Chain A
Amino acid sequence: MSPDILDESSVIWFGPQHVSAHGWAAKLTIVGDYIVECDPNAGYFHRSAEKCLEFRNFRQGSMILERICMMEAFLAEYPYIAAVEKIVDLEIPERAKIMRTIMMEFNRIHSLQFWWGQFAGELGLFVMLLWPWVDREYSLDAFEELTGSRHTVSYATPGGVKYDFTPKFLAKMEKALTRVKDRMPVFEDMLSGSPTFRLRTEGVAHYTAKQALKWGLSGPNIKACGIPMDLRKDDPDPNLAYDMIDWEVPVINNEEHPGESDAFDRLLQRFKEIETSLDIIDKLLPLLPEGPIIDPKARSKANRLPEGEGYGRVEGTRGITTVWLKTMEKAQTPWRAKIRGPCFASYYALKHIVPGARFADFPAIFGSLDPYPGWWDR
């Protein structure tokens, strides 16, 4: 790039007031219609969640976590619970393990439905914004029936889960999942079969598997490059039920450009994630045994924790989500908590992906990476 070109450049702030930028901001240097430099700015959502965790006891901390990312509330609160369960010995009943896993996959489907509508909305397809969100309402109704809240479910607690599955909830979940299954072919046809959509996404936001590993991407963003990196398979949590059944890691490997992914591949990848989640729920529901849903001694054991370190991690919708906890002897609250969100990496990857793209492609680029501001500001 010669300096003469940069003389004619102009700087545009994309966000934080822009409708598509959900409260975040990127400083774009533009020459003509092309973006030559992208400088993502974090910090608009900072609510010091890590510091807040230091003042909450081990049963209260997960409420902070689920408010970081409302769309995957259960997946967001679970790493904290997993970290607590690493420090103190708790016997999780079999029923609770399976219930957690079912709820996790159900939440993943809900989160992906949200993303998918939002992605289409960012590209200007407003019918496609609303249609998945109508289906999402059925999932939310099921969450409400089970826990009493639509988004912030507060479902897991150290030692098990809080609410037992009821016939009403199972009926509502069945209804929501049947609806997703029925409408998947329609949506696949509307998005991946639509020439407008393909023109806007194919060849946009291109990166290789090597670059993705270097930038620290995880989740669907790296699986779309053909790397089967999935914590559910690689390091199954002993307190979840992923190792009880056979399932395959969803991976897209495009034959035209193997080992690379563009925005369209990542869309297909997320479709495949929904199919895998549906498959896991179908296989786990018949395995649900009768019995207690929480360790009877959980309340007294989680009251004061021994000295130790706990590292809980989970494969979230957007990537690997982890919480690290350090406790002192007879601790009521963590001495230090560290949250690793999946989206910080994908947000700062914009710096490398965006230069060279057209300005109109910018929503397609960040939409396909599925960034959620809560995860990088915490």
Chain B
Amino acid sequence: MGFVGNLGDIFKILKHTFRQVFRRPFTYFYPFEDREYPETTRGRHIHIRETCNACAACVRACPVAAIRIDKEDKKFEKDCALYFDYTRCLFCGDCVRACRYDALFHTPIVDISEGDREDLIYGPDKITTLDRDPLEWRGRRFR
């Protein structure tokens, strides 16, 4: 009885071990995959110059002076160029709330680390475009 009982216990343990080996991991295989972020996520911004009115409400709303405005740089009739300094940004969302012309939004991209400090200052060319589609790059490729 003792031997058979022990054997039963051993098989029970082996069952758990094998199940653990072939189970998918609980963690994400970052950076190749990531969890899904809600639409409201306050990630990096996107500036839509077509609708921008150069009112500088976002600049005044920013608590850490992370936004710089250049009103001379015009692509359309009324717009301006915005420079976002992500070394200072708190992602508090006040600039997006202050914008009355639907020209500034948050995107669900939250991993904006760079090797060089200068690369974190997003100029007008970088802030108006998404360099990658967040869903394409962080799709559930490994699951």
Contacts and interface: CB of A to CB of B under 8 A. Distances in A.
Interface in B10-63: 37-38, 40-42, 61, 63
A59 B37 CA distance: 27
- Number of contact residues on B: which range applies? 10 to 19
Given A63-B90, A63-B92, A154-B93, A148 B40 contact: yes
Given A60-B94, A63-B90, A63-B92, A145 B63 contact: no
Interface string B71-109: 000000000000000000011111001000000001000
A192 interface: no
Contacts, number: 43
A154 B106 CA distance: 15
B63 A146 contact: no
Given A56-B63, A148-B106, A162-B97, A168 B92 contact: no
Nearest to A150: B41
Contacts of A56: 63
A190 B105 CA distance: 46
Contacts of A163: 40
B40 A146 contact: yes
Q: Chain B interface mostly helix, strand, loop or mixed?
A: loop
B23 to A, nearest CB: 17
Given A56-B63, A59-B61, A144 B41 contact: yes
A147 interface: yes
A216 B45 CA distance: 45
Nearest to A56: B63
Given A56-B63, A60-B63, A63-B63, A149 B38 contact: no
A149 B94 contact: no
A292 to B, nearest CB: 15
Interface string A48-74: 000000001001110110010000000
A152 B38 CA distance: 16
A152 B40 contact: no
Contact of A144 (B40, B61, B97, B106): B40
Contacts of A61: 63
Interface string A172-207: 000000000000000000000000000000000000
Contacts of B37: 144
Contacts of B92: 63, 152, 154
Interface string A33-47: 000000000000000
A147 B37 CA distance: 12
Contacts of A168: 38
B90 A148 contact: no
Contacts of A147: 40, 42, 93
Residue from B37, B92, B93, B94 having most chain A Cβ neighbours under 10 A: B92
B46 to A, nearest CB: 14
B106 to A, nearest CB: 7
A60 B42 CA distance: 17
Given A60-B63, A63-B90, A149 B97 contact: no
A56 B97 CA distance: 17
Contacts of A146: 40
Contacts of B106: 148
A152 B90 CA distance: 9
Interface string A138-169: 00000011111100101000000011000010
B40 A59 contact: no
A144 B35 CA distance: 13
Contacts of A152: 90-92
Nearest to B65: A55
A341 B63 CA distance: 22
Interface in A88-136: none
A167 B63 CA distance: 31
A344 B110 CA distance: 34
A90 B42 CA distance: 28
B43 to A, nearest CB: 8
Contact of B40 (A60, A64, A145): A145
Interface of B: 37-38, 40-42, 61, 63, 90-94, 97, 106
6 contacts: A60-B61, A63-B63, A145-B40, A146-B40, A149-B93, A168-B38
Given A63-B90, A149-B93, A154-B94, 18 more contacts: A56-B63, A60-B63, A61-B63, A63-B92, A144-B37, A144-B38, A144-B41, A147-B93, A148-B38, A148-B40, A148-B106, A149-B41, A149-B91, A152-B90, A152-B92, A162-B93, A162-B97, A163-B40
